[in-house]
Amino acid sequence: MFKVKRRYRDYVLCYCNNHNDNTPSLSISLRPEFYGCYRCFGCGLTGRLSSNEMKELGCEVEKNKRPVLNIDWTSLYKDYNKKLIRECPQKITQLATLFNLDNAPTVLYDGIGWDGCSWTFPVFDSNGMCIGIQRRFEDGNKGFVSGSKIGILIDRQVVYSNQDTVFITEGISDLLSVADLDFLVAGRINCNTGVEELSNWLYNSMISRVVIIPDNDKVGIDGAEILQTRIILDSQSSIIPTIFSIKDSGCSDIRQYIHKFGKEYVRLELEDHV
């Protein structure tokens, strides 16, 4: 039986026992239609586990799953976006000040809204379908609109751009900070989510170069390496993402790093890195 490294929302990452695997590189699907199907990205081993075997791994089908809410996420985030632009434009300025942005955040991430007590950011699946909305309150607290799935942060700008390099950040504030330097940016909610979604999304895009910018901590760097490996495997090495490390800077994330070294310096540094 495979040794489980980590369970994600719709797949389980395991060590393959068909080869000497310390990555780990075997993924078992938890999606209803592919439940138990596995594939090793290292040696190519595929197959399907029985429900008993899945139970042994601790991956039995969850009972009493919460009912799926039928929410039209696209129209909801567009409503919040209109509310922000038409009714509460001062909230755009406030957000720009909060993150020290030269550009309006609505320009940097398409679909930002205001729901009356928090800024809202649509999150997407790998096909660009909105599947949830993240909220950020004025006191810095964050949460999701109930029923949201943990999607990825992508932008129409990125989808339709003909630029070939994208930076991947952790979280919306880092995303806005890097986008403010005039780079294409996509993001994930934190360093553990969105691996499969980002990889699938990249696979179907025109993007050929990826730079991952993790937070400066162990989970961030580990998370970046997992994403890096996954993108290499899924793209069959047509994309080799690099990791932009701020390890020795004393800063905890790229937003702080930009604050410390200045926008022009970091812009040049990122350009050089690419």
Please report, as ranges, the residues that interact with Zn ion according to CB under 5 A.
16, 18-19, 40, 42-43, 45
- The contacts found for 116-121 with CB under 8 angstroms, 24 or more apart, are 116/83, 118/143, 119/84, 119/91, 119/95, 120/77, 120/80, 120/145, 121/153, 121/172
Residue 41 beta carbon to Zn ion: minimum distance, rounded to whole angstroms:
8
Residue 32 beta carbon to Zn ion: minimum distance, rounded to whole angstroms:
25
Closer residue to Zn ion in complex, CB, 37/184: 37
Give the pairing type, strands 26-29 and 142-144.
unpaired
Residue 202 beta carbon to Zn ion: minimum distance, rounded to whole angstroms:
23
Q: Which residues pair with 153 in a beta bridge?
A: 187
Closer residue to Zn ion in complex, CB, 37/43: 43
Residue 44 beta carbon to Zn ion: minimum distance, rounded to whole angstroms:
7
Closer residue to Zn ion in complex, CB, 18/252: 18
Closer residue to Zn ion in complex, CB, 16/54: 16
CB contact at 8 A, 236 and 247:
no
What Cα–Cα distance (Å) separates residue 189 from each residue in 1, 110, 172, 182, 258? 32, 16, 7, 21, 20
Residue 45 beta carbon to Zn ion: minimum distance, rounded to whole angstroms:
5
Closer residue to Zn ion in complex, CB, 20/70: 20
